[in-house]
Amino acid sequence: MKIHEWFKSFHLLEFPEEGESPVRYRLLRRNMLILMLLTTIVPLFFMAVVNYYQYQNALKDEIVNPLRVLVNKTKHSFELFLAQRLSTVSFIASAYPLEELADENALNRIFRVMRQEFGGFIDIGLIDERGIQISYVGPYDLKGKDYTEQSWYHEVVIRGTYVSDVFMGYRKFPHLVLAVQRRTDAGKTWILRATIDTEKFNDLIASMQLDPRSDAFLLNKSGILQTPSRWYGGILDQFPMPLPPFSTEANVVQMRDSHGQDVLVTYTYFVNSPYILAVVKHEGEVLRAWYTLKTEIFFIFVFSVVVIVLVILKLTEVMVRRMQESDEKREAAFRQMEHTHKLSSIGRLAAGVAHEINNPLAIINEKAGLMMDLLEYSKDFPEKQKFTSLTDVILQSINRCRSITHRLLGFARRMEVQIEVLDLNEVLQETFTFLEKEALYRNLDVRLQLAPDLPRIASDRGQLQQVFLNLLNNSYAAVEDGGAVTVTSYEKDLDTVAVSIQDNGCGMSEETIKHIFEPFFTTKKGTGTGLGLPITYGIIKKLGGEIEVQSKEGKGTTMTVYLPKKPKNGVGA
């Protein structure tokens, strides 16, 4: 299966659409976390495994190779010892005639020289072709002994030379036999047989200088101990473990001994002798350095994984959060563009309506003025006073309509902003007087918390009055009779002043807040036009300010307007 298909099968490359934003970002965070963990921890894991086995093999070689060298060296010492003794016996059998060796005095002289020069010999004897020992020098009375029933006798007859296992025999102590067969010119055969004690074997094993936690010994090919062992018995005891496979070179095998311990057995088979040299070490002792390193590798791996996971978690969280913030900013910008486009469309519509209304209003104004002139010149007209008052009402209504169309043109950005230096607290107090009677009638607790040292700003007085009037109207509409409305002014920073209008009314949901500045969106079913806050938003933007809304359902709403102290570039130009 391809990697792409594998990712797809686990839904690592699938994300919900933008509308499902909480699920989308949760799934995005999960998939990024999984992918980053896979791309970091999997290679680290494989690297740790490879290093594990490489270090294991290297350390084993470093620890085991010296054991192999030591075993090979000791094996050569054993083989040299046996070869020298066997060569000595063979030389004597070749150098001296049968008659001289059959003479015990001559054989005794030869034997003394053998012990003096080589050591380790216990006795020596001459055995005729009948298997009877006809001449003997040594501490035992073995002259006349018949060896025809002994296995070594038949082996030396067949092979010509013989090196025995360690055994007790007639002597009742551990020893081994070296035997050489010779043939006279007359066709007679005879055997020269010498006995060697095993003390030299013990000396050779002691020369290995093993630590007390190690054991070394000789075995024969039947698994019988030829030298004493620290852990597995004495001479001629059965070795409690199976024999390792044949190898004339030093080799190492892992085994479990009779005590249930895991051990490393370094061994080698002798070439011309029936012996196996073995060195046994507890695996824990041999591989202690490896176990320490393995533990360190494990803790380093775990520490690395923990660090990687923590870094990936933090990095994933930061990346997803920034992506989410970026998406939210993009969505907010899109909504603002949409809102601006709607305002622009309503503005063009309002401008068209205002221009269309202004024309008939001008005609009505002219006609009403003409009527006033005619009434002025008609002194004898009986209803002059009444018609004059009616004409005044018409002119007042025309002026009112002109004010409305004037505002519509201002909403449509067809009016120039009239910038002047003003006191924002004074504008707020003037605006409040327009709604003071309604507050008294409804018993509203309206508090003006105006900063006494609020700096003067450069802005449009009339349009600010319209903004605050709209916001106060909305706050009054949101509270029940007896509710509270607080108007606060303060200096935000060196360049900005702020006015907040807070009420304890019904509040708004998050979904409602998203749409309150859209034209024709209203929560006042049957009474609202949905143009108050859009017009307010347009005026504040035109003056270079910002508006912020904070609201919770059942807790109330706070509208905060931020205004620049000085007009920004292009405002009022």
pLDDT tier at 5, thresholds 50, 70, 90 = low
Phi, psi of 556 (to 5 degrees): 115, 180
Q: What is the mean pLDDT of the segment spanning 493-520?
A: 83
Contact 231, 280 (CB under 8 A): yes
Reported as a single tens digit per residue, the pLDDT across 361-406 is 778 878 777 777 777 777 666 777 777 788 788 888 888 777 667 6
pTM: 0.48
**Residue 460: how many CB atoms within 10 A of its CB?**
24
Q: Amino acid letter at 40?
A: T
**Nearest Cα residue to 268 out of 199, 221, 212:** 221
CATH value of 416-573 in 1.50.10.10, 3.20.20.80, 1.20.81.30, 3.30.565.10: 3.30.565.10
Ranges of each domain in the chain:
16-286, 416-573
Strand partners, 375: none
Share of the chain above pLDDT 70, in %: 84
Q: b or e along 517-529 (b: 16 or more beta carbons within 10 Å of the residue's beta carbon)?
A: bbbebbeeeeeee
Q: What is the mean pLDDT of the segment spanning 147-173?
A: 84
Domain 16-286 has CATH 3.30.70.870: no
Q: Helix or strand or coil: residue 495?
A: coil
Helix axes 21-95 and 288-377, enclosed angle (nearest 10):
170
Query: Is the pLDDT score of 109 beyond 90?
Result: yes
Nearest 10 degrees: Cα torsion 42, 48, 51, 53? -100
Query: Is the pLDDT score of 407 beyond 70?
Result: no
Query: Is the pLDDT score of 413 beyond 70?
Result: no
Query: Is the pLDDT score of 12 beyond 50?
Result: no
